[in-house]
Amino acid sequence: MLLRNVFLLLLLTVAAVAPARADDGYRLWLKYDRIADAAARQQYARSAQFIASAGTSPTLQAASGELQRGLSGLLGQAVPVVGTAGSRTGGVVLRVDKQASANGQPLKSEGYRLFSEKNNLVITGRTEVAVLYGAFALLRQVQTRQSLAGVNFSSNPRIDYRLLNHWDNQNGTIERGYAGSSIWQWYQLPEGLAPRYTDYARANASIGINGVVINNVNASARYLTAEYIGKVAALAGVLRPYGQRVYLSVFWAAPKVLGGLPTADPLDPQVKQWWAAKSEELYKAIPDFGGFLVKANSEGEPGPQDYNRNHADGANMLAQSLGRHDGVVMWRAFVYKAGSGDRFKQAYEEFQPLDGKFDPKVLVQVKNGPIDFQAREPFSPLFGAMPKTPLVLEVQLTQEYLGFATHLVYLGPLIKEVLEADTYAKGAGSTVAKVVDGTVDQHALSAIAGVANIGSDRNWTGHPVGQANWYAFGRLAWDHTLSSAAIAQEWTKMTLTTEPAAVRTLTDMLVKSRNIYVRYTTPLGLHHIMGESIHFGPQPWLAKAGRPDWTAVYYHKADSIGLGFDRTATGSNALALYKPEVQKQWGNPQTCPLDYLLWFHHVGWNQRLSTGRTLWNELATRYYTGADSVLWLQKQWAQVRPQLDPALHADVTARLQTQRKEALWWRDACVLYFQTYARQPLPAPLAPPTRTLAEVKDLVNLYQLR
């Protein structure tokens, strides 16, 4: 009897403390948990007594369904969907209106407006997808606890094509993926449509992503077979109601591999015909197919240069193959030919001269920086240098060079940094954002792409904070004027907690996290000193690799005099690729911002920097303070424990422990290695690492065993 009572008591206690539902992260920022404050719930409930939607189309059903799910969850009471409002008031009305406008301007086709009318809250736009976006905007208002009273706002996307690029392979692996395997289950498609696809589409729609490149840029020809086109069409059918089109990365030599042709020369009539027929086949299966993404003559991939043609010849032929269909070609500028000088300049040298030679349906896709998704890069000099060509900005959400899924790094500030960089293409204010959104050069097409960090892990992104990077990308793609801190705060409230002090703590952590990572890995403008191939951990001593520009020494150029890559006129002169105003900003080692210093200058170890410290002392200090900032992250995270789901909290706690350990690897490896050149002790009060360089090398080399 006693035992039974104890057992009962135990059961009751467990039920009382355990949250209603353990938070495994699957619901992302679309949690819709009941608002704890009853008064607030009631307040919202007064404006959301019903949802009026006359539409029966899949998109309008998605909109009303999402509102019903979200509002019912948040308010803790059923909110019915009714056909029309009739004389009822106090509800949410969905209205597609071809004339919809805001502030005297017609809305863009995807733009939405929320306003009050006869005591109802109207969500309107010129298209169904616009209304769907508006529905998510309304939910966001409630999720972030903003008032609905007298709501009146509108929003248009600034960039037209807002794409995720999946680097997913046909066999289910993901190139540079750290969150499990691909979410696309090719062997089950087209018959088997995992519910997860719909949740993926919902998440994308909630942040305005409207296109999905399904497969890796190192593409398999298999996606262009009839079998796979059928599978892709099935996926397209799931994404379509949510406003997302599918695109494919294509393998340049597909006409040879699949078509049996002797060549893939873009000027060959048979090759042209093959692609035209393939495009027709694609559009027959997927009427709203988005188009092609191409990695050609890059890192061993075939391309038009194999036939002495250039990138424009290749891209234009593909664009023409699309014929009358509304598709585009995104041709990547991520190229660097072996043995032709500073890698920094190579994409520019190949692409800039082609400006004006591309078909109107071609966009050139440029990575944010000139090298390769480093933790901090100056903006690519192609931005602002190709006025006649619409450029797609490509950023990487998967943390290939930013600590995989064990380092907490919020990428909002990185993405904002490049968007806000001023190219001076048409005078001051010609930011990368304005080059990309088409306003600097009046382009009809504009696009932005994020390399996805999404995989089969239950929480989608491995590190729970990786979700914030997916989220921030979408929000900035829609409106690049939003601040990264505001987005971090929004995501935190929607995903983790709305308790004000915890929101402040978490937002602060997120906002500072990227600079912390830079400090303990590549301070002062160091770059590309990570582990070979795996791109994880430090390997500044790497001196031999498949190509010189895959080593670390190529980039840091440490010697007895100093450190850094001289890219001024006395060095590779890559700086000359930028407009004079930019050159002025970065050209003088005395005034160059410290974040970019070693990107452009070889600086003496004893050179005094603007901080008052010598280069060596500053470098060592940054490695130490950077690694110690992880302790700060840990402390902050510990503080918010009462506000967070216990499982999620424990997950990140463990990841932070790993991050601290790996930050110390970076610190010790880099400080000890560079010290062999600087030949000076660490400045006080820094205590020397407790291990030797040989020991750290062993550790890292073992890590990289394949």
Find the DSSP H helices in 592-645: 597-600, 615-639
Interface with ligand BDP (CB under 6 A), residue from 247, 275, 334, 424? 334
**Dihedral, CA of residue 13, residue 17, residue 19 and residue 21, to nearest 10:** -20
Q: Give how far Cα 260 sits from Cα of 263, 264, 274, 308, 557, Å.
A: 9, 10, 10, 21, 48
Considering beta carbons, is residue 157 or 177 the nearer one to ligand BDP?
A: 177
Please state the closest distance from residue 148 (CB atom) to ligand BDP, in A: 43
Please state the closest distance from residue 224 (CB atom) to ligand BDP, in A: 19
Residue in this structure with the two tokens 């440490």, named with its chain if needed: 558
Residue in this structure with the two tokens 């390769």, named with its chain if needed: 372
Please state the closest distance from residue 167 (CB atom) to ligand BDP, in A: 7
Q: Does 372 bind ligand BDP (CB under 6 A)?
A: yes
Please state the closest distance from residue 226 (CB atom) to ligand BDP, in A: 27
Please state the closest distance from residue 572 (CB atom) to ligand BDP, in A: 21
Considering beta carbons, is residue 37 or 299 the nearer one to ligand BDP?
A: 299
Contact 491, 468 (CB under 8 A): yes
Q: Which of 372, 394, 662, 668 is catalytic?
A: 372
- Describe the chain by its helix, strand, coil percentages, rounded to 5: 45, 10, 45
Q: Give how far Cα 288 sits from Cα of 116, 161, 244, 613, 634, Å.
A: 34, 14, 9, 58, 47
Considering beta carbons, is residue 175 or 479 the nearer one to ligand BDP?
A: 175
Q: Does 352 bind ligand BDP (CB under 6 A)?
A: no
Considering beta carbons, is residue 299 or 698 the nearer one to ligand BDP?
A: 299
Q: Which of 299, 326, 581, 698 is catalytic?
A: 299
Nearest Cα to 208, choosing from 450, 14, 540?
450
Instruction: Note if 350 is an active site residue.
Output: no
Q: E strands along 551-658, which residues? A: 562-563, 603-604
Interface with ligand BDP (CB under 6 A), residue from 77, 101, 218, 658? 218
Residue in this structure with the two tokens 């350990």, named with its chain if needed: 661
Token pair, residue 27, equals 């619901």
Considering beta carbons, is residue 202 or 367 the nearer one to ligand BDP?
A: 367
Closest residue to ligand BDP: CB criterion = 372
Burial class (CB in 10 A: 0-12, 13-18, 19+), 38: exposed
Instruction: Note if 110 is an active site residue.
Output: no
Q: Does 624 bind ligand BDP (CB under 6 A)?
A: no
Which residues partner with 331 through β-bridges?
294, 364
Interface with ligand BDP (CB under 6 A), residue from 130, 217, 235, 271? 217
Contact 537, 529 (CB under 8 A): no
Cα angle 210, 215, 219 (rounded to 5 degrees) comes to: 140
Considering beta carbons, is residue 93 or 415 the nearer one to ligand BDP?
A: 415
Identify residues 374-433 at the interface with ligand BDP (CB under 6 A): 400
Identify residues 504-563 at the interface with ligand BDP (CB under 6 A): none
Please state the closest distance from residue 334 (CB atom) to ligand BDP, in A: 5
Q: Sketch the per residue contact string, 262 through 301, with ligand BDP: x for CB under 6 A, - otherwise.
A: ---------------------------------x---x--
Nearest Cα to 38, choosing from 90, 74, 78?
74
**Neighbouring C-alpha atoms within 13 Å toward the C-beta of 519:** 19
Please state the closest distance from residue 302 (CB atom) to ligand BDP, in A: 14
Q: How many residues bind ligand BDP (CB under 6 A)?
A: 10
**Distance between CA atoms of residues 407 and 670, nearest Å:** 18
Considering beta carbons, is residue 92 or 248 the nearer one to ligand BDP?
A: 248
Rg (CA), the chain: 27
Instruction: Note if 559 is an active site residue.
Output: no
Considering beta carbons, is residue 334 or 624 the nearer one to ligand BDP?
A: 334
Interhelix angle 195-206/128-143, nearest 10 degrees: 80
Please state the closest distance from residue 329 (CB atom) to ligand BDP, in A: 16
Identify residues 175-194 at the interface with ligand BDP (CB under 6 A): 175-176
Residue 356: φ, ψ to 5° = 95, -5
Considering beta carbons, is residue 373 or 410 the nearer one to ligand BDP?
A: 373
Q: What is the DSSP string of 22-91?
A: ---STTTT---PPPS-HHHHHHHHHH-S-EE----SHHHHHHHHHHHHHHHHHHTS---EES--TT--SS
> Can you give the binding site for ligand BDP, defined by CB under 6 A?
175-176, 217-218, 295, 299, 334, 372-373, 400
Catalytic residues: 299, 372, 400
